[in-house]
């Protein structure tokens, strides 16, 4: 990742596996930490960075909704709904759910209980869901490829909540977050569980609209992207909403052939049953219609690491006017085999998306995006109070606003290079905004986010 040496007057770094605690002098003044503040439910804090969106893709994403978020406390709502079915119908529904769970919850050789209630199953690498895919059956995970030139690795540490006990899965296995009946019941349907909704959703805020604040580059051939993003735990005020920050690697048109690879952090009560920020991945090869899913909830992504759990809670998080922690993400195309690899943190490979999954992304990406997204599901005409990023506008700057820093792309020669012609876009800048910049310490960066409903965003 980035050089993490101590600079007494310029910056202060502390490499912590996926996270880097860093105090930086911004363009005109040095920001000083006021000591380590513990924030909300976790004792530490940390940062993370993500990706942008072009206007046409923003419009398209507004059509690709994540199914409504339902907190664990809403489980009884579903129970009451189930009571409207005849007993035979309810039994059939539960049988379908259990059959689906048998497909995605693979036999484990060890289980690890996370402090947040998650159960991590240690599954043999060759038994993971990826190898249920027709084009991947009978294959084996590949060896790690060569990293892009200009990439620097550091000693890894793991700050995912489930691993704070020091327990990890044995070599030859991977940790998979166990999916429960309650998880599936929170989804709109078994078929849509773990997937984004492809049916059109109007862009206005009265009908489940998605709102973005993103930076993007396009117009060239891209073979990957890298950035560091500070991680927060934004308030999500409605069970049908979520807040996320991520990178998108995109190819194809914005019609039915859209290919995307996505990674970042998200708060989604519907998907996870709580309000923790969680590391997530996504992919699709047909514009979210029938292919792809979050994390390992379908076959596709091949995980190779036994210490990272996709979908697991991140700890610590950044605190307002206090400590900032970020996570680094690198996605790049292996020049030899054409697969798209994911690195999370300082030099730790998570796994890869096989080239065989894609059409346009078998070659290269035509756009890279970094930024934040929320769902505004309010039907009353009043805007949601769901926060993006830190919940503060970009103008508040370091220590207060969310950021992406050291934003780079991978070129045709497998080299990390600075962004050229970075553009920024906010769907509703009175609710969530964004601004970009460049300096010698952070390279290309963006600040973004906002509180949602406020005096200028009623």
* Per-residue pLDDT tens digits for 310-348: 999 999 999 999 999 999 999 999 999 999 999 998 788
pLDDT digits (tens, 9 = 90+) for 19-33: 344 443 333 333 333
For residue 226, name the pLDDT band (cuts at 50, 70, 90): very high
- Is-catalytic flag, 262? yes
The torsion angles phi and psi of 292, rounded to 5 degrees, stand at: 85, 170
Whose CA is closest to 213, among 20, 19, 3, 424?
A: 424
Residue 455 inside a domain? The answer is: no
Residue 458 inside a domain? The answer is: no
Whose CA is closest to 14, among 42, 38, 44?
A: 44
For residue 165, name the pLDDT band (cuts at 50, 70, 90): confident
Whose CA is closest to 340, among 443, 251, 217?
A: 251
pLDDT number for residue 381: 80
Mean pLDDT, residues 90-115 taken together: 92
Pairing of strands 433-439, 224-231: unpaired
How far apart (Å, rounded) are the C-alpha atoms in residues 297 and 168? 21
Residues 6 or more apart whose CB falls under 8 angstroms from that of 431 comprise 211, 376, 383, 450, 451, 452, 453, 454, 456, 457
pLDDT number for residue 93: 86
Residue 55 inside a domain? The answer is: yes
Residue 97 inside a domain? The answer is: yes
- Mean pLDDT over all residues of the chain? 82
Phi and psi based region of residue 267 (left: phi greater than 0; alpha: psi -120 to 50; beta: remaining): beta
pLDDT number for residue 87: 61
pLDDT digits (tens, 9 = 90+) for 167-195: 999 999 999 999 999 999 998 888 889 98
In the chain, % of residues over pLDDT 90: 65
pLDDT number for residue 227: 97
pLDDT digits (tens, 9 = 90+) for 251-275: 998 788 999 999 999 999 999 999 9
For residue 90, name the pLDDT band (cuts at 50, 70, 90): confident
Residue 364 inside a domain? The answer is: yes
Task: Tally the domains of the chain.
Answer: 1
pTM of the complete model: 0.80
For residue 170, what is the DSSP state?
P
How far apart (Å, rounded) are the C-alpha atoms in residues 148 and 391? 34
For residue 377, name the pLDDT band (cuts at 50, 70, 90): confident
Lowest mean pLDDT among 201-205, 225-229, 371-375, 449-453: 201-205
User: Partners of 20 in the beta sheet?
Assistant: 15, 326
pLDDT number for residue 276: 96
Say which of 262, 270, 343, 387 is annotated catalytic: 262
Is the predicted pLDDT of residue 155 greater than 70, yes or no?
Answer: no
Residue 289 inside a domain? The answer is: yes
Mean pLDDT, residues 205-222 taken together: 82
- Is-catalytic flag, 373? yes
Peptide bond into 205 cis (omega under 30): no
Say which of 211, 241, 343, 373 is annotated catalytic: 373
Structural domain of 383? 11-449
Mean pLDDT, residues 137-149 taken together: 91
Stronger pLDDT, 206 or 403, i.e. the higher one: 403
Burial of 6 (0-12, 13-18, 19+ CB in 10 A): exposed
Residue 416 inside a domain? The answer is: yes
Residue 374 inside a domain? The answer is: yes
pLDDT number for residue 80: 38
Cα-based angle 393, 397, 399 (whole degrees, multiple of 5): 105
pLDDT number for residue 359: 96
For residue 156, name the pLDDT band (cuts at 50, 70, 90): low
Is the predicted pLDDT of residue 371 greater than 90, yes or no?
Answer: yes
pLDDT number for residue 88: 67
pLDDT number for residue 361: 97
For residues 209 and 319, the answer to whether their CB atoms sit within 8 Å is no
Strands (E), 85-223: 110-113, 119-124, 173-177, 196-197, 209-222
For residue 151, name the pLDDT band (cuts at 50, 70, 90): confident
């Amino acid at each position: 990742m980035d050089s993490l040496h101590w600079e007494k007057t310029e910056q202060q770094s502390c490499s912590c596996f996926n996270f880097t605690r860093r105090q930086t002098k911004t363009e005109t003044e040095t920001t000083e930490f006021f000591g380590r503040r513990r924030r909300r439910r976790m004792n530490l804090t940390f940062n993370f960075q993500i990706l942008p969106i072009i206007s046409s893709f923003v419009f398209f994403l507004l059509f690709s909704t994540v199914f409504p978020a339902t907190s664990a406390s809403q489980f009884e709502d579903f129970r009451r709904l189930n009571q409207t079915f005849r007993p035979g119908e309810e039994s059939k529904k539960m049988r379908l759910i259990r059959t689906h769970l048998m497909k995605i919850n693979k036999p484990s050789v060890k289980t690890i209980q996370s402090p947040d209630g998650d159960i991590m199953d240690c599954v043999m690498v060759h038994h993971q869901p990826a190898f249920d895919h027709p084009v991947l059956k009978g294959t084996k995970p590949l060896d790690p490829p060569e990293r892009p030139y200009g990439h620097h690795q550091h000693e890894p540490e793991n700050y995912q909540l489930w691993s704070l006990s020091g327990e990890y899965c044995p070599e030859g296995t991977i940790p998979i977050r166990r999916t429960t009946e309650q998880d599936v019941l929170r989804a709109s349907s078994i078929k849509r569980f773990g997937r984004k909704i492809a049916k059109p959703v109007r862009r206005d805020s009265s009908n489940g609209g998605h709102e973005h604040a993103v930076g993007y580059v396009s117009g060239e051939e891209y073979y990957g992207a890298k950035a560091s993003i500070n991680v927060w735990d934004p308030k999500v005020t409605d069970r049908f909403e979520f807040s996320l920050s991520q990178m998108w690697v995109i190819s194809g048109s914005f019609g039915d052939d859209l290919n995307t690879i996505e990674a970042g952090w998200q708060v989604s009560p519907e998907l996870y049953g709580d309000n923790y920020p969680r590391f997530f991945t996504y992919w699709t090869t047909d514009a979210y219609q029938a292919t792809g899913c979050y994390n390992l909830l379908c076959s596709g992504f091949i995980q190779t690491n036994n210490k990272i759990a996709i979908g697991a809670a991140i700890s610590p998080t950044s605190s307002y006017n206090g400590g900032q922690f970020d996570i680094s993400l690198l996605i790049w195309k292996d020049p030899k085999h054409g697969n798209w690899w994911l690195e999370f943190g300082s030099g730790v490979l998570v796994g890869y998306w096989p080239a065989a999954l894609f059409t346009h992304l078998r070659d290269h990406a035509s756009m890279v995006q970094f930024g934040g997204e929320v769902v505004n599901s309010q039907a009353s005409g009043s805007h949601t109070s769901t926060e993006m990023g830190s919940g503060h506008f970009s103008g508040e700057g370091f220590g207060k606003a969310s950021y992406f820093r050291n934003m780079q792309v991978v070129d045709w020669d497998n080299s990390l290079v600075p962004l050229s012609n970075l553009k920024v876009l906010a769907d509703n800048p009175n609710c969530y905004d964004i601004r970009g910049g460049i300096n010698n310490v952070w390279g290309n960066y963006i600040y973004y986010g906002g509180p949602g409903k406020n005096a200028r965003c009623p």
